[in-house]
A = this chain, B = another copy of it.
Amino acid sequence: MATFREIGERGLVEMIRRTVLRDGSPDALTDDASVIPRGSGDLVVCTDALTFERHMPKGMTYEQLGWMAAAANVSDLASMGAKPTGLLASLNVPEDMDVRDICDIMSGIDQCAEFGETYVIGGDTKPGTGTVAVTAIGDMEGRRPMTRGCARPGDVIAVTGPLGGPAAGFRAIEAGIDLPDSVATLMAPIPRVKEGIALASTGLVSSCIDLSDGLSTCVRTICKESGVGAIIEWDLLPADEGVSVISEKLGIPEKDMLMDWGGEYELLFTFDRKDLD
């Protein structure tokens, strides 16, 4: 049979899904976050890991890596509209790593927990090549979780903020261009916790996803799960200020930075046009 390298992460996840899916399994296994139904308010849980090798752009500190690992998960909660109620961190780090650097990772995770008004409530450390796995637990507090599968024809598509910052920041670092605000969106992205809670509170949102896989992939996901199509009006896309700078200086098409770059942490959501007010 194939190896992990040959089949890739997506292929492996599909095989794993088939391995563990049983009668009664939650829908869980298609979303980034899973819902545990509970009388007084559903729980939402998710886990996502970053590796030193693949997820640390040049110049990223261990503190920022920790923040990023936490933010990826807190953002998954936000996309469902859940309030974070605790983070767990499972670190896999080289045995010759300085303890100060390890604590910097944890400090980054904790700062993101504090941003989300919650705490690091557990964890584990083992020797390895360098992986930071965070699990986030959230509470719907009576709101209905926003999912990806209920967008309807005619819905408006919206995002919570400007896009392209991480892409512009990455190019800026590579080319030595001074774009601190764009670099910040790459190195320390802000998960849209309050925005996600506010969106779910309206009860009017038909679907929601965070843009961590990039705009084009995420729109395709919503379309596939909801059985709809979508039109993206180029002129209406809000862009990070660094996007035009990088495009002018380096000749990189704005579209590449806005559409096809992952690591965005804005939320994309859909709703009925009549609810626009």
Contact = CB atoms under 8 A, between A and B. Distances in A.
A102 B4 contact: yes
Given A28-B122, A119-B24, A135-B135, A3 B47 contact: no
A25 interface: yes
Contacts of A98: 1-3
The size bracket of the interface on A is 35 or more
**Copy count, this protein chain:** 2
Contact of A125 (B12, B119, B128, B137): B12
A138 to B, nearest CB: 11
Given A20-B110, A131-B126, A99 B47 contact: no
A130 B131 CA distance: 11
B3 A86 contact: no
Contact of A19 (B11, B45, B103): B103
A211 interface: no
A51 B127 contact: yes
Q: Which of A5, A29, A100, A135 has the most CB of B within 10 A?
A: A135
A1 B124 contact: no
A16 B135 contact: no
A7 interface: yes
Interface string A96-110: 111110110011011
A40 interface: yes
